Structure 1
């Protein structure tokens, strides 16, 4: 049986009590304890009950809250607590029925209404504790986005990032303390320099313009997007590999022998719910994989320096596995013995030895074999001719 709600999560706007609906005001009146960041507590002024400042980092306040079980507690959050807010984090630590949420209009919806933008077509980002590079997949001429930033100085960092990516012509509309008595709205170009100091809380509406390169949406992005030492699944083969891996929402990929991380990165770019782990034996390449992932907006990629199969033993189970390097009898036997039925496996073989391995594996386990023979046109004296790459044998199977 669900317990009675003892935690009420209240979404608070910058106008404090004046903007609270009756249900939220009633919950505050009945509260024994109100927890929230100092700024939110200040917006409510003097309260008749006990108040507790939520600590930094945020996670430190969870145990403090759970220690108050049995008392009526209000937790203050910004706007809609379940849109880049504290709501989902709190709900993970509370049983069903122990909490209720009373949201206010989100900052995103308020900004969209001010700008006249269709919210369902406008990417929204909460970058309080996330890198600005999360914006990279969405940067394109004519794109619009709404970005929550951690503080005022982060506006300057955003301008610098856009200029670095050659989108310095973007127009920024900065909203400070949106909806409250301190509200201030400032519009300027990213490459024109920050016109004044900004103060928290800040939200920025960004209208992208400039000569920067938009990231393609299809798998098989140009090799130039990835820094590498040459150890990389090249664009045409990468496109075929991603097609064989067939990413689906909420799945986890193991990329074994990551090289530059291009397969795992493109897997993650397919959908925000996807997860991936790269296993790479060389420390320098593992560092490069991490750098590529952060620069291309998928810093959620997990990178492990180690050798398979030893490095795989404590990982969360995958739904798909790509073997780009380190193919061996030992690895294939371990995968067959330890992975769940239904796991998709794709291996690319370049050498005669690795080709023999996948041919033998296909005989035992079935699956599909595909031979990729690619040639590129290159200068041949005053004319042009075809230069063949090493053929690749791709084996894909569902265990």
Structure 2
């Protein structure tokens, strides 16, 4: 028999204890300490436990919570603690037998039921502590989003963001105090001047409309999405490169020689479970990569200003590596010596010298060589002809 959990994570709705399961009520009644934000503590029934206010910022309360080990403790959270909730924030400090969770109805479920939207076809985003740009990839005509916000003032920020991107015709339903007696829905247009004051807790349900440019879902997104000084992997080659990189759920990418960051950004857009580190020796380009990532909703991209392989030594090992710049014999030797077996490696070469390096590496380590030759229609006198780009040689291998 394992030990009994000392921590109960209880999801609380706007009705307080009403509707809680028997186990949740028992945890509250038998707790020695109940810790949560003031709003949640105010919703509690009559309990004998010591009530501790969770501090701001949220992370400051985790150590305090852990100091209560050995006592019967309840941590209060909103709705479902593990759907953009507070529950996951404390997991790294807990063993599996130390905690138990009792969720209540999530805000997303309450919002979908108020709107009459099928939840499985609705984008659900928790942006109470994250940038609004994370909505970017989900914005398309007739798309539906439910977005958790930090406070009532953030509603105007959402409207301004949508209007800025050309989605000003979108309908925003502001949903306040869902699940409680004061629940309220207010419908506004994103392009309108917002003068209403909205109360926390608040979320918005967005039905997207307007003339904005929806981001394609497939790899090889338009070059114009990325701010660049001209150093970037262009759209067709980027699509072929992402295909060779073959992202799989949970994998981490090293993007060596980031340029504009387009490869790493498209990697991250493939799935929210993916992570990436870009290494770029040019300070201006490093800043541009970070700005591109933030604008396209993948601010989780780690950007390192420095030279490879020197800066690679202390980084967590990758599942996949792309060399888009700085290809050299020394780089390949270092990667071969330090990457784990099973790591996927993809490199693109434009010059004859770098092409030779890839041919030698393929002879030694195997893998596939692909020569990419692209031509675009261009004016030729009064008519048109094909203008060829420099051919690119791509080597891909699983070590």
Which bin holds the TM-score, normalised by the shorter protein? Answer: over 0.9
Distance 2:159 2:19 in 1: 32
1:242 aligns with 2:242: yes
Secondary structure of 1:191's aligned partner: coil
Q: Please list the CA deviations of residues 53-74 of structure 1 after superposition, one character each: whole Å capped at 9, or x if unmatched.
A: 0111212111111111111111
Q: Is the 8 A contact 1:3 1:96 kept in 2?
A: no
**Structure 2, unaligned runs of 5 or more:** none
Count of residues paired in the alignment = 399
- In 1, Cα distance between equivalents of 2:361 and 2:94: 47
Following superposition, the deviation at residue 191 of structure 1 comes to: 0.5
**What's the secondary structure of 1:147's corresponding residue?**
strand
Residue 339 of structure 2 corresponds to: 339
Asked if 1:319 is matched to 2:315, the reply is no
Indicate the residue corresponding to 1:265 in structure 2.
Answer: 265
Q: CA deviation at 1:23?
A: 2.2
Per-residue CA distance 1:6-42 (angstroms, 9 max, x = gap): 1111100011123323322221110111000011111
The alpha carbon displacement at 1:165 in A equals 0.6
Q: Which moved more, 1:286-295 or 1:40-49?
A: 40-49
- Indicate if the aligned counterparts of 1:2 and 1:96 stay in contact, CA closer than 8 A: no
1:366 aligns with 2:366: yes
Aligned equivalent of 1:91: 91
Give the drift of 1:45: 5.9
Looking at structure 2, the residues matched to 68 and 2 of structure 1 have their Cα atoms a distance apart, in angstroms, of: 19
Local SS of the residue matching 2:163: helix
Q: Which residue of 1 aligns with 2:176?
A: 176
Q: Structure 2 CA distance, aligned partners of 1:201 and 1:227?
A: 36
Q: Tell me, which stretches of 5 or more residues in structure 1 are unaligned?
A: none
The whole-number CA distance in structure 1 between the counterparts of 2:222 and 2:350 is: 21
1:136 aligns with 2:128: no
| 3-state secondary structure, aligned to 1:192 | coil
Distance 2:330 2:346 in 1: 16
1:146-225 equivalences under 5 Å are 146-225=146-225
Which secondary structure state, in structure 2, belongs to the residue aligned with residue 287 of structure 1? helix
Query: In the alignment, what sits opposite 1:386?
Result: 386
Match of residue 279 from structure 2: 279
In 1, Cα distance between equivalents of 2:116 and 2:195: 24
Q: Separation in 1 of the partners of 2:177 and 2:116?
A: 19
TM-score for both structures, normalised by structure 2: 0.98
Conserved 8 A contact 1:125-1:148: yes
Residue of structure 2 in register with 1:56 after alignment: 56
Q: Is the 8 A contact 1:173 1:205 kept in 2?
A: yes
SS at match of 2:111: helix
Q: Conserved in 2, the CA contact under 8 Å of 1:7 and 1:99?
A: yes
Structure 1, 202-211 or 192-201: larger mean CA deviation: 192-201
1:398 is displaced (CA, Å) by 1.0
> Quick check: 1:2–1:98 contact (8 Å CA) kept in 2?
no
Q: Distance in 1 between matches of 2:2 and 2:310?
A: 43
- The alignment yields a C-alpha RMSD, in angstroms, of 1.1
2:81 paired residue number: 81
**Hey, what's the Cα distance between the residues in 2 that align with 1:141 and 1:99?**
43
TM-score, L = length of structure 1: 0.98
